[in-house]
Amino acid sequence: MNWLSHIGRHASRLASLELFRYIGPGFFVTVGFIDPGNWVTNVAAGSQFGYKLLWVVTLSTVILIVVQHNAAHLGIVTGLCLSEAASKFFKPWLRVLMLGSAMVACVATALAELLGAAIGLNMLTGLPLLVGALCSALFSAWMLFSKNYQRLEKWIMGFVSLIGLAFVFEIWLADVSWVQTFTGWVTPSFPVGALPVIMGVLGAVVMPHNIFLHSEVIQSRQWNVHGDDVIRKQLKYEFLDTLTGMGAGWAINSAMIIMAAAVFFKGGIVVTELPQVTVTLAPVFGKASAVVFALGLIFAGLSSSVTAAMAGGSVFAGIFSEPFDINDPHSRVGLGITLVGALAVIMLLADPFKGILWSQIALSLQLPLTIIPLILLTSSKAVMGSYANKPYGAAVLWITGLIVIGLNLALLIDMAR
């Protein structure tokens, strides 16, 4: 490849990821905290078990900080995204297992996002869910292929963030038990029948596709070619960006569970569909709460489905040792697999609410297949050189991975009974 074609290819990669020009990757991941999958799992946790599962948000956020920073660490130091690094350094069987399951996770993520947007469209217009999901998928694909997403992302993220912040604000208006709240944040509890919801919350917070996408966004900036001084500076900046974003996400996720506990659990109401959540927004938005909630679902679903499709494109392109590039056939195939696969599953769903919940459980089941290979890569001196994880850092990562594996094994045992 001559130097002109190399420059053109790199410019194309940067154009494909231009939407991240104005926001830090940490904040972007935070926006994923308030997608339809999070709304479903948090409302299910709060309405069924009150404040008892708040600890899952705390644990998931800690895991997320560790894992997302590690993924960014890989991208900054090597100039490779997670998918490219797996293709370069792993044996074929491990590469196929990791990246194949990651593609399934991207489909599961897109399912929740498209279905959430479709539910919002149904609330506003009465459009059938399948038609709404199809429209959402076409719109997301159009935004990526036409590269128009960067024109919309700022106000979409702003509106979605407004809904999340509304939940935070409402906890000061609701009759919240703060004693139970603080206890719930720090005290692990496993009520009977709670394991699927626990794993759903975990999968909705620590999302496999965001781990791949974070490394993709970071590596596209190619900081590794500018020397050690730039690498060290970016590692420090990235950690602050991740820590700030994850802290905001923890607050928003907690607020959703607290509101569901204060409104639904206290009243003995089990939420079985997303439109019920409009009740929790009434104190802030009044009669317009249903419209605001529907718009929030649409915008959250659309923005998140775009990133899920991008992650699918990144994972699939990485199988061929390529970065995400919307002009590249492999990236386009990955994008298509993600959106079409999600639509195919949506066609088979009888219960949209349970479908979204189980899609998040599927994400939690895939997590070990993303986290463990990531730890192997970032702890290897052959991959990271002098920036490989130190023994203390590697120990923290392995403890994180073992916790995720342990929770998944507990879920599988519980389901087998």
pLDDT digits (tens, 9 = 90+) for 96-105: 999 999 999 9
Which three-class secondary structure state does DSSP give residue 288? helix
In angstroms, what CA-CA distances link 366 with 76, 98, 275, 402? 24, 9, 29, 13
Check residue 291 and give its pLDDT.
Answer: 83
DSSP, residue by residue, 318-372: HHTT----TTSHHHHHHHHHHHHHHHHHHHH-S-HHHHHHHHHHHHHHHHHHHHH
Q: How confident is the model at residue 8 (pLDDT cuts 50, 70, 90)?
A: very low
Q: Which two tokens stand for residue 182?
A: 């603080």
User: Taking the model in full, what pTM does it have?
Assistant: 0.86
The Cβ of residue 240 has, within 10 Å, a number of other Cβ atoms equal to: 11
Number of H helices, E strands in the chain: 18, 0
Q: Specify the residue for token string 């094994």.
A: 409
Non-local CB neighbours of 92 within 8 Å, separated by 6+ positions = none
Q: Which two tokens stand for residue 290?
A: 């249903």
Rounded to the nearest 10°, the torsion over CA 276, 281, 287, 289 is -80
More confident residue, 14 or 169: 169
Q: How far apart (Å, rounded) are the C-alpha atoms in residues 291 and 288? A: 5
The least confident of 21-35, 127-141, 342-356 is 21-35
Digit-coded pLDDT (tens) for 202-253: 999 999 988 998 777 766 555 554 556 666 666 666 777 778 878 888 988 8
Q: How far apart (Å, rounded) are the C-alpha atoms in residues 32 and 41? A: 13
Q: How far apart (Å, rounded) are the C-alpha atoms in residues 254 and 51? A: 9
Q: How far apart (Å, rounded) are the C-alpha atoms in residues 254 and 259? A: 9
Is 60 within 8 Å of 201 (Cβ atoms)? yes
In the predicted structure, residue 18 carries a pLDDT above the cut 50: no
Count: domains in the chain: 1
Q: Which two tokens stand for residue 408?
A: 């998944």
Check residue 153 and give its pLDDT.
Answer: 58
CA angle 322, 327, 311 (to 5 degrees): 55
Q: How far apart (Å, rounded) are the C-alpha atoms in residues 33 and 244? A: 13
Q: What is the mean pLDDT of the chain?
A: 84
The Cβ of residue 24 has, within 10 Å, a number of other Cβ atoms equal to: 17
Non-local CB neighbours of 93 within 8 Å, separated by 6+ positions = none
Q: Which domain holds residue 142?
A: 3-416
The CATH number that applies at residue 286 is 1.20.1740.10
In the predicted structure, residue 391 carries a pLDDT above the cut 60: yes
Q: Specify the residue for token string 């990133």.
A: 307
Check residue 171 and give its pLDDT.
Answer: 78
Digit-coded pLDDT (tens) for 153-211: 566 666 667 767 777 777 777 789 999 999 999 999 999 999 999 999 999 999 998 89
Rounded to the nearest 10°, the torsion over CA 36, 37, 38, 43 is 90
What percent of the chain is modeled with pLDDT above 90?
Answer: 47
